[in-house]
A and B are shown apart, each in its own frame.
Chain A
Amino acid sequence: MATMAQATEEVSYLEAISQALDEEMARDERVFLMGEDIGTYGGAFKITEGFLQKYGEWRVLDTPLAESGFVGAAIGAAMMGLRPVVEMQFADFISCAFDQITEVAAKNHYRWGAAVPMVIRAPFGGGVHGGPFHSECPEGWFFHSPGLKLVAPSTPYDAKGLLKAAIRDPNPVIYFEHKFLYRRIKSVLPKEDFVVPLGKADVKRVGNDVSVITYGAMVHLALEAAQTLANEGIDLEVVDLRTLVPFDKEAIYSSVHKTSKAIILHEDNKTGGIGAEIAALLAEDCFGCLDGPIVRIAPPDTPVPFSTPLEEFFLPKTNDIISAARKLAAY
C-alpha cells in the first residue's frame, strides 16, 4: 500500500529540485551546498529544509552575504575535486558574482585546462510581485559568455532530471529555476534515478501549424494558448528548450521545418535576448522553409516592475501568443 501511494504521489517543481539535491548528496559525498540562509533556515524558498540536520554544517554551508566570494569559493572547491552547488537567494543577486562566473569559472578550462564542475542555482522570473530586484531573468548575460552551460526547466520531471545532470556535468552550469512554478506545477515522478541530458529540447506539445520555441514558465503559457487555438483549428507545437546553452538547434530546426512558422517566446526582455539569437539562426539556416515572419514575444526593455497592473502589462500573456499564432496561421 505504501509503495502504491508513493508511486502516484504528485511532486511539486520545488520538491523535485529538493529531491534532486538530496539524492545527489546521498549518492556522491563530494556534493555540498553553499548559500545564504540555506542551513538553519532551509533557504528563502525552503528547498534545503532539513538538509543541515541530515548532512551537517560542512556539507550545507550558510555563507556570509557575499555572492562573489562564495561563487569563487565554489570554483576553488570544484577544482579540488568537490561538487559544489551554490544557491543564489534570487537570480537577481547573481550580478554580484558576475565577474567570478564569466571571468573565472567560464574561462578556466579554456585557459589552462582545469575543469570547474559546479552548479549555481538561480531562482528567476516574475509573476510573483517581486519588483525590479526579485524577478529578473538574467540568463541573457550568461548566454553570451562562452564556457557556461545554462538550463531552465519547466516541469518537475525536467527540474529533477536536469539538476542531476548539471551536478554530474564537468562544467559550470547555471540552473535557472522558475519561482512562479515552484508550488504551482506538480506531477508524478519515476521512483528510480533518472537524468535529463543537457542540450536536449523537449516537444511539450506536438502540433503542425505553428512552432512556439520557449523555456521556463513561458512553456505553460504556450500550452494554455495551444488549448484555445486548438478550438479554432490552429495546431500549436510547443518546443521547450530546457537547456539554453548548449541549445538544441536540431529540435528547433526540425519543428520549424514541419510547421514553417516560428514564434519565439521568453520572459527575459526582448532586445539582445536569447530569442534574438534563435531568430537570427532561423533566418540564416531555415529561411527557405519559412512561410511567415519570425515572431518574438517578450517583455519590453524595462526593469521588471512591482505594481500588479504594471507587471501584468510587462509579462507575456496567453493572448499575445494566440493573436500571433492567428496571424501566422493566416499566411
Chain B
Amino acid sequence: MDVAVIAKEIKRDDLLQMYHYLRLTRALEDRITALYRQGRIVGGVYTSHGMEAIAVGYASALERDDIIAPFHRDMGAFLIRGFTTGEILAQYLGKRTGPSKGKDGNVHMGDLRRGVFGFVSHLADNLPVAAGAALAFKIRGESRVVFAGTGDGGTSRGDFHEAMNLAAVRKLPVVFFCNNNQYAYSTPLRLQMAISNVVDRANAYGMSGEIVDGNDVAAVYLAANRAIARARAGEGPTFLEFKTMRMHGHSEHDPAKYVPRELLEEWKKRDPILKAEQLLTHLGYGEEGYFQDVSERVKKEVEVGVEFAEQSPLPEGPEVLEGVFAIRADSH
C-alpha cells in the first residue's frame, strides 16, 4: 500500500485504534489457546492468528448500526462491536455469562443489539441470511449495510452462490468477503476449486470484486470502505477476496502437518501486526515505547476477562430446556 494514500485516507487515531484491536485480538486468542492447552477450555478453538487484520479492518470501516455476519476467524469484529474479553472468555469456558449462556461454544456468539449474527458452522449458511438482512434495509429504505464472510472452502457451497446471486439480482446493500487462507481444514485451494482467485466467482453474478492483501489492515479498511460506499449508494453488493494464510491448524487440536513449513515461514514475514507496526513507524504515528504500551494494556484487558470468566457461574443442567422457542420477537 502506498503510504501517502494511507496517510491521506485514514485518520491517525483510526489507524492507532486498529493497531490496538490487532494486538487485543492476538493477546486474547493466545490466552484462549493457552487455556485450551491446559484443558480449561473444552471443544474447538479456531483462531484468527495471522489473519487478525481482516476482521479488524472491515469492522473498523462499518458504522455501529450496520450488521456483521462474521467468519469464524473474525475475533476482532466481536471486540470492535463491544464484546468484552470477559464475555468472550466466559463463552469459551461454557459459562452462563457468555453471549450464548453455554448453549453454544467458542466463536459461535451473536447479539442483535450489537449487530453481530451468530456464526453457523455450516460454512456459507449465514450468507443468504446476510442477504436477507440487506433486503430488509432495502425494503425499508435504510442506508445500513451488511458485511458477511466465509472461507475459501465455504465458497464451494451452494448457499454461497445462492446468496451472491440473490444479492446481485436485487442489488442488495451487502458486502461478501472470503477469508482465503489457502486451506479449508486440510484441503488446499487447488483441491477446492479450479481457479486461482476466488474473486473470479463474483463476475459470474455480475458483481464487482476485488483482491485485497488480507494481512494489511489499512488495505482491508480501505477496500471495505469502497465496498460499503457502493452498497450505501444503492450500487449493490461487492465481493472482496482477502488473501491471507492460516498460521495455526484448523482448530488448536490440529498440528497442520499438511502445510509446508516454508509456506508458513514466508507468511510469517507478512504478519499483520508486524506490517501494522512498520506502517505506523513509517508514518511517524505513536511515540517511543507505544507498541510496548499497547501490548501491556491489552494483556491487562485479557487478564480482567479471564478473572471475570473464571468467577462466572456455569449454567445449571435444566437450563438446557430454556429458549427453544421465542416468547416475543424481540426477546433476545
Chain A residues at the B interface, C-beta cutoff of 8 Å: 32, 58-59, 61, 63-64, 66, 68-82, 84, 99-100, 103-104, 108-117, 146-147, 149, 170-171
User: Quick one: which of B67, B329, B330 has the most chain A CB within 10 A?
Assistant: B329
Q: Which of B313-332 contact A (CB under 8 A)?
A: 323-332
Known A-B contacts A79-B112, A112-B109; A72 and B118 likewise in contact (beta carbons under 8 Å): no
Contact A74 B132 (CB under 8 A): yes
**Minimum distance in angstroms from A60 CB to a CB of chain B:** 11
Write out, one digit per residue, whether chain B residues 237-267 have a CB within 8 A of any chain A CB (1) or not (0).
0000000000000000000000000000000
**Given A112-B99, A112-B109: A73 and B131 within 8 A (CB)?**
yes
Give 8 A-B contacts (CB < 8 Å), ordered by A residue.
A64-B165, A68-B159, A75-B128, A99-B122, A110-B103, A112-B111, A114-B112, A115-B332
Chain A's closest residue to B134 (CB) is A76
Q: Which residues of B contact A115 (CB under 8 A)?
A: 326, 328-332
- Nearest-neighbour CB distance to chain A for B73, whole angstroms, equals 18
Given A80-B136, A99-B159, does the pair A111, B326 have CB atoms closer than 8 Å?
A: no
From A76, A84, A116, contact of B131 by CB (8 A): A76
Cβ–Cβ < 8 Å partners of B122 in chain A? 99, 103
B5 at the interface (CB under 8 A from A): no
A112 near B110 with CB under 8 A, answer yes
CB within 8 Å of A: which residues of B?
Answer: 67, 99-100, 103-104, 108-112, 117-118, 120, 122, 125-140, 146, 158-159, 162-163, 165-166, 169-170, 323-332
Q: How far is the CA of A59 from the CA of B133 in the complex (A)?
A: 15
Known: A64-B165, A170-B331. A100 touches B136 (CB 8 A): no
Give bound CA distance, A103 to B128, whole Å: 13
> Which chain B residues border A77 with CB–CB below 8 Å?
132-133, 135-136, 139
Given pairs A103-B125, A110-B324, A113-B332, 17 additional interface contacts (CB within 8 A): A68-B162, A73-B128, A76-B117, A76-B133, A76-B135, A77-B135, A79-B129, A80-B136, A81-B136, A99-B122, A100-B128, A109-B331, A110-B103, A113-B100, A114-B110, A114-B118, A115-B331
**Contact of B131 with A68 in the complex, beta carbons under 8 Å:** no
List A contacts of B166 (CB < 8 A): 63-64, 66, 69-70, 73
Provide the residues of chain A in CB contact with B117, threshold 8 Å.
Answer: 76, 79, 114
Contacts of A69 in B (CB 8 A): 128, 131, 159, 162-163, 165-166
Nearest opposing residue in chain B for A113, CB measure: B332
Given contacts A58-B138, A64-B165, A111-B104, contact A72 B131 (CB under 8 A): yes
The docked-state distance in angstroms from the alpha carbon of A171 to that of B108 is: 21
Cα A310 to Cα B187 with chains together (Å): 47
Minimal Cβ-Cβ distance residue in B for A146: B324
* Cross-interface CB contact of A80 among B137, B163, B324, cutoff 8 Å: B137
Minimum CB–CB distance for B257 against chain A, Å: 31
CB neighbours of B170 from chain A (8 A): 61
Residue of A nearest to B160 (CB): A69
Cβ contacts under 8 Å, B129 to chain A: 72-73, 75-76, 79, 100, 104
Complex CA distance for A304 and B177, rounded to whole angstroms: 42
The residue on A at minimum CB distance from B326 is A115
